[in-house]
Structure 1
Amino acid sequence: MEGTLKRSDIARRLQEELCLDPALSQNLINSILKHMIDAITNGESLKIKNFGAFHSHVQQPRMARDPQTLAPVRLPSRRIVIFRPSGAFRNAVAGAPANFTGIKLPSKRRSASEGSPPESELLTDGQWSKMKLLCPHPGAGARKGIEKNRIFLEALLWLVRTDSPWSHLPPVYGRWQTVYKRYRVWTEADIFVWLFKACADDPGMQFKLSSGHIIDLKKPKKPGLRARPNGFVN
């Protein structure tokens, strides 16, 4: 089955296989799910043979950063749900046919034929290693947040090196409005000044920040990344 399996799909299968009334099938599913939710909410572990186990976990308070202002904020304690698949479940997924069609996730980069520069022309691992520690940290253990910093920088490099307007940013880098808002916050915090200094000896990263514009020093006659998109409204 492709796409998303929904509650109504399970009810329909019950109806077809057990010859149940449609309303009864839906009520059965609703009742089962309610019992599962109530058990987990009350702190009980829920185990389903050959499927997996659900249990709740209290996440301790921790420090993070406000995504808009980058100011440190304290996140309160909260309860989260953790699912651990059974061995049979993992084996079934691992043994799925090679032609299995799962959910298609967007690639973080496009090939040159799709309008983006080749990967080597964006941000190399060596350049990123110099910049990573200077980027605002999303919080302890937030590995995905750190990778988003790299994708954000690659989005800016794509815009600068292709002389493209903000609205032409490929979707694989995220919504251009979101990227622009983050760019403005980093500019006001002088983060790019430190990033460019860290890579000053790298011939592939010769940039400077001037009046809110990122300018490629290899193309000094180009206007660089505009500080404000045309028609942008906060």
Structure 2
Amino acid sequence: MKKLMLCALLFFTYSSSILAHDLSWDNLMLASVKLQSNFDYEANVTSYMKLYRPDVWKKYRNDEFMFHDKKQETIEIMKKNFASFSLDEEFVTYTTLKFEDYDFSNEEFPVKSLSETTYFSKSIWRSGSFPKTYKVFLTNPDKVKNLSMPKDRAREFLQSRKSKVTGRVNRKVYLKLKFKVKSLKNGKDELLAEITEAKFYKDNEFSEVLQEF
């Protein structure tokens, strides 16, 4: 029994450590609302209902008395969903960067990396009163640095990226980012986030780590 409880505890601890928000429009909307101290529920409830309770909206939209009740019901659902969304939980996203010719002096591949103007965005077709697109900017883009690698290993790495037919080199490096949303940048559609973890991967399946930051 004790062994079973220990296994359950270890599983819970492991599961909790790997939880992360996907970078989606829905999650960015939740993060944005969470950061708005004066969020107007009445102004957004109809749009929320259309997005997340479309059957309810269609059924009751032409009966103002029933619709009023459903709006109040939906506001309570909104408040619970927004309250349960954690900004302490990291977001995770995947992207690619390009590495340039090897720097023999510093033993690294310079990477065309991130900057303060870099952003990740998510959009939906119909958003109603919510922003159609959310953008996430990074407060510490310099956390992601160049790809360090000793000369011999770098030679092997480059050869493994070279086409045997054309000789062309695939200079993509695959980046997994974890970050926490900290504040709103401009308005309610731009957010500022801090990178908490960054990893370069060799492959587009993100199975072989090259470097961690």
Higher normalized strand content (fraction of residues):
2
TM value normalised by structure 1: 0.20
TM value normalised by structure 2: 0.21
